[in-house]
Amino acid sequence: MRLWGRATSVNVQKALWALEELGLAYERIDAGGAYGGTDTPEYRSMNPNRLVPTLQDGGLVLWESNAIVRYLADAYGRGRLRPDDPKAAAIADQWMDWQQTTLAGCMNPLFWEMVRKPPSQRSPERGKELLEQCCKQLGVLDALLADREWIAGDAFSMGDIPAGSMLWRWYTMDIERPDLPHLARWYARLSARPAYKAAVMTSYEALRGKD
């Protein structure tokens, strides 16, 4: 099994986290960002979007990070990453889509504004606006976690991976975070998982913008 993508990409980290949770053997190939490699004919033949991650598992080539997580959970993690209960699986799916369609829409721009831009190019007004949007959306997740330990219920699942991958940046960026106690407890549980430490809790200093 091969995974193309740089280790500092949140989307790549989702796939890496799933692979690590399942204990699967894989080779990661640096691609994207400073590594380049996504504009070659060979890469375009696998992923016409020229983005990362891309997973190759035998004859299957798959892109889109959440689709990769779902595939790994379905093929190798039934009863573990993919809940056996169809209702719990549907809840996990729902929150995976929410991360992609809602949370990423403010979290990714916030990271770009607060970290990736050189300090001289950052806009305090834009940063404040994006922070407020993120606080609102993470408040929704905090409310969900008030009566459960994991997104899909009582057990860790694929549903925790997409949003959970973004929390490392949320809790390490130089921003003013509101008190979201249920989210903080969930983050603490994630941080205790060896696979999370290996795949997600890695330095992003190479991405930091400098004047």
Mean pLDDT across 12-33? 98
Looking at residue 7, its pLDDT comes to 97
Distance of CA 184 to the CA centre of its chain: 17
Q: What is the pLDDT of residues 80-90, one digit of tens each?
A: 999 999 999 99
The DSSP secondary structure of 141-172, one letter per residue, reads HHHHGGG-SBTTBSS--GGGHHHHHHHHHHHH
Q: What is the pLDDT of residue 26?
A: 98
DSSP 31: -
Cα 96 to Cα 48, 108, 189, 208: the distances in Å are 23, 16, 18, 27
Give the single-character DSSP code of 84.
S
C-alpha 41/C-alpha 37 separation (Å) is: 9
- Contacts of residue 153, defined as CB under 8 A and 6 or more positions apart, other chains included, come to 83, 88, 91
Confidence (pTM): 0.97
Query: Which domains, and CATH codes, for the chain?
Result: 2-76 (3.40.30.10), 86-201 (1.20.1050.10)
pLDDT digits (tens, 9 = 90+) for 24-78: 999 999 999 999 999 999 999 999 999 999 999 999 999 999 999 999 999 999 9
Integer Cα distance of 125 and 168 in angstroms? 23
- Please tell me the distance from the alpha carbon of residue 96 to that of residue 118, in angstroms, as a whole number: 31
Using one digit for the tens of pLDDT, what is the confidence trace for 98-127? 999 999 999 999 999 999 999 999 999 999
In the chain, where does DSSP find H-type helix? 10-22, 41-46, 65-76, 86-98, 104-111, 124-144, 161-172, 181-191, 194-199
